[in-house]
Amino acid sequence: MTTTPPAPSAATGAAVKAADRAHVFHSWSAQGLIDPLPVAGAEGSYFWDYDGNRYLDFSSQLVNTNIGHQHPKVVAAVQEQAAKLCTIAPGFAVDVRSEAARLIAERTPGDLDKIFFTNGGAEAVENAVRMARLHTGRPKVLSAYRSYHGATAAAINLTGDPRRWPSDTASAGVVHFWGPFLYRSPFHAENEAQECERALAHLEQTIAFEGPQSIAAIVLETIPGTAGIMVPPPGYLAGVREICDRHGIVFVLDEVMAGFGRTGHWFAADHFGVTPDLLTFAKGVNSGYVPLGGVAISAEIAATFETRPYPGGLTYSGHPLACASAVATIHAMAEERIVENAAEIGETVIGPALRAMAERHPSVGEVRGLGAFWALDLVRDKETREPLVPYNASGADNAPMAEFAAACKRGGLWPFVNMNRTHVVPACTITAAEAEKGLALLDTALDTADAHT
């Protein structure tokens, strides 16, 4: 794939930014304190501004563009579908919608054979919770601290990071528990087996005190993403599956971020041999070329709504342009071995390079991840594991992470930064040469973090 050289034009960039500042209200931001980069174009693993600066995208646009930017087959599929049928209400049978559903169902684990389409991840989580509550007739839902499930009512309430606080009264019945995370173990465990055993015992105890008969669902990210790419210890997810079965609780795995090749398998659940009752997806299903998400539903839960209507729907559910982009994306991923590429790059390039950086840099406390899904946990002190910036820091408190991000960008690398972590989450199509180039830039930028140890 060739990258179109940007046409430098600072004047246009300034105009684009001025127009943005005049009328666009941005997510998660103090509107007066942000300085959005005007983006002129993108291709493959890169995007660029109007000043001639190209950035190697190690963020995948919120861990989204698994097949990279502007994949020609997906662009063509959207154009062809637009010429044929742009929109049709969800109640009709449409070839491109049923084909997208079939391709997704074929790849999801076990008997998750029915697909409810949404416009993104949060809506998928909302609907999974509603399905679980209607299926079980129970009100409560359990989810983990250190999780992210979306910004709509129930989804933000399930989210376990502090961003939920301002709006977490929107949905009742959510109970948080601690999932496993050995590096910062809530259970003071010394090894993965202990962490797994204690995390499962803690979950059992939470269920006992909440009352199993009141719990509709346990919602977990298979590998928590935004909260730190914390790969669960062997046996944990199988243990949760067994607990759910024993208590008649619906097991929901949220694969909005980890799904569709990101971890080097089609779904992260494939690493653990676990099948949930409901699986939520979005992002990588079509790399966000047109908004799309959904819930993959087990035969048993689908049967609940065979004669009883499902009380939920969206005008754009199964939108033809979104479904066309998903069909083309899934075919391209299979034909071009993109899932395999993520696995190989993770194992042979990203993982070894990050581990070598951890040896060299006093600020790198832990490296974790797999596929194209990695985190560096940055610390002030490797012994105490004190995070490089305080939890949920902003302003001056967050300066070390802001300096690190600025150093990456000066070198032409666009990083993903969250709290005291940087995540290495490039496109799953990234080449070894591109990955090595980005990792070298990251290595240099880490010197700024080392200065705060």
List interacting residues with ligand PMP (CB under 6 A). 62, 120-122, 125, 148-150, 221, 225-226, 254, 256-257, 282, 293
Going by C-alpha positions, the residue among 17, 45, 75 that lies closest to residue 436 is: 45
Q: Which is nearer to ligand PMP, 150 or 264 (CB)?
A: 150
For residue 287, the 8-state DSSP code is T
Residue 117 in tokens: 């389409």
**SS3 label, residue 421:** strand
Q: Which is nearer to ligand PMP, 40 or 230 (CB)?
A: 230
Q: Which is nearer to ligand PMP, 256 or 353 (CB)?
A: 256
In whole angstroms, give the CA distance from residue 386 to residue 147: 20
**SS3 label, residue 275:** coil
Residue 54 in tokens: 């190209």
Q: Is 297 exposed, middle or buried (0-12, 13-18, 19+ CB in 10 A)?
A: buried
Angle between helices 72-84 and 320-335 (to 10 degrees): 150
Smallest separation, CB 170 to ligand PMP (Å)? 15
In whole angstroms, give the CA distance from residue 55 to residue 49: 8
H helix runs in 299-398, sequence order: 299-304, 320-335, 338-345, 351-360
In whole angstroms, give the CA distance from residue 101 to residue 117: 9
Smallest separation, CB 150 to ligand PMP (Å)? 3
Q: Which is nearer to ligand PMP, 13 or 264 (CB)?
A: 264
Going by C-alpha positions, the residue among 440, 428, 435, 406 that lies closest to residue 343 is: 428
Q: Which is nearer to ligand PMP, 62 or 358 (CB)?
A: 62
DSSP bridge partners of 370: 373
Going by C-alpha positions, the residue among 220, 148, 211, 207 that lies closest to residue 179 is: 220
Smallest separation, CB 217 to ligand PMP (Å)? 14
Q: Which is nearer to ligand PMP, 44 or 120 (CB)?
A: 120
Smallest separation, CB 389 to ligand PMP (Å)? 21
Smallest separation, CB 350 to ligand PMP (Å)? 20
**What contacts 123, CB < 8 A, 6 or more positions away?**
150, 152, 293, 314
Q: Which is nearer to ligand PMP, 199 or 257 (CB)?
A: 257
Residue 258 in tokens: 């980890």
Q: Which is nearer to ligand PMP, 42 or 227 (CB)?
A: 227
Q: Which is nearer to ligand PMP, 57 or 254 (CB)?
A: 254
Position closest to ligand PMP via CB: 121
Smallest separation, CB 64 to ligand PMP (Å)? 8
Smallest separation, CB 226 to ligand PMP (Å)? 5
Q: Which is nearer to ligand PMP, 148 or 181 (CB)?
A: 148
DSSP bridge partners of 245: none
Please state the length of the chain: 453
Residue 278 phi, psi dihedral angles, 5° rounding: -135, 140
Smallest separation, CB 395 to ligand PMP (Å)? 24
**H or E element at residue 393:** none
Smallest separation, CB 415 to ligand PMP (Å)? 16
Smallest separation, CB 403 to ligand PMP (Å)? 25
